[in-house]
Amino acid sequence: MALAAAAAAQEGPQHDLLRVEMTAGMYRIEAQVAQTDLQRAVGLMRRQDMPEHEGMLFVFEQPAKQCFWMKNTLLPLTAAFVADDGTIVNLADMKPQTLDSHCSAKPVRYVLEMNQGWFKKRGIKPGFKLQGTPFRKP
């Protein structure tokens, strides 16, 4: 409840998050990292636009079934539900400002949100493996 109130109180989009670079084959992705409860709750809410090669990587403490919705999110997005090794488990296109729930097909630790159509335009489907620091074993 407190997180929802804090997220609702946030007037504008969050831009001051840690960033990480990843690749999807030959394509570079620069993602903001949402790793705290509040950062994940706010996500890409109220964002007016997002450059084509940018996204947001949601990082959870442990793999679990992750579900996302688009309340107060203005951009059409695609969520890639990603396993620990960077393999995309499933993709979900999400419509702006809806409460429809979009969930991972199995427990995952990562969810990467990109502009809708980004994955499709590049032929990236479930089973494709993303590369980058978040997916390297310590």
Instruction: Spell out the domains of the chain, with CATH numbers in brackets.
Output: 2-135 (2.60.120.1140)
- Residues whose CB falls within 8 Å of the CB of residue 59, separated by 6 or more in sequence, listed in order: 33, 34, 35, 109, 110, 134
Q: What is the dihedral of CA 26, 48, 64, 105, to 10 degrees?
A: -70
Q: What distance in Å separates the CA atoms of residue 46 and residue 49, rounded to the nearest whole number?
A: 9
Dihedral sign from CA coordinates of 101, 102, 107, 111 = negative
What pTM was estimated for this model as a whole? 0.89
What confidence category does residue 136 fall into, taking pLDDT thresholds of 50, 70 and 90? Answer: confident
Separation of CA 134 from chain center: 13
Predicted confidence (pLDDT) per residue in 34-80, tens digit: 999 999 999 999 999 999 999 999 999 999 999 999 999 999 999 99
β-strand partners of 60:
none
Structural element, H or E, at residue 62: strand 54-64
User: Do residues 69 and 95 make contact, with C-beta atoms less than 8 angstroms apart?
Assistant: no
pLDDT tens track for 95-123? 999 999 999 999 999 999 999 999 999 99
The pLDDT of residue 61 is 95
Supply the pLDDT for residue 5: 43
